[in-house]
Amino acid sequence: MEISNTDILIVAVVSFAGLYIIQYFIPVGLWYTAKASGVRISILDLIFIRFRKIPPSLIVYALIASAKGGFSFDKDELQAHHLAGGSIENLTKGMIYAKANGIKLSFREVSKLDLARKDIIKEIQIKLERKTKHNPG
Tens of pLDDT along the chain (137 residues) come to: 688 888 889 999 999 999 888 887 788 899 999 999 999 999 999 999 999 999 999 999 999 999 998 889 999 999 999 999 999 999 999 999 999 988 888 999 999 999 999 999 998 888 888 877 777 65
pTM recorded for the entire structure = 0.81
Among the listed residues 127, 119, 116, 124, the one whose alpha carbon sits nearest the alpha carbon of residue 98:
124
Distance CA 30, CA 40 (A): 12
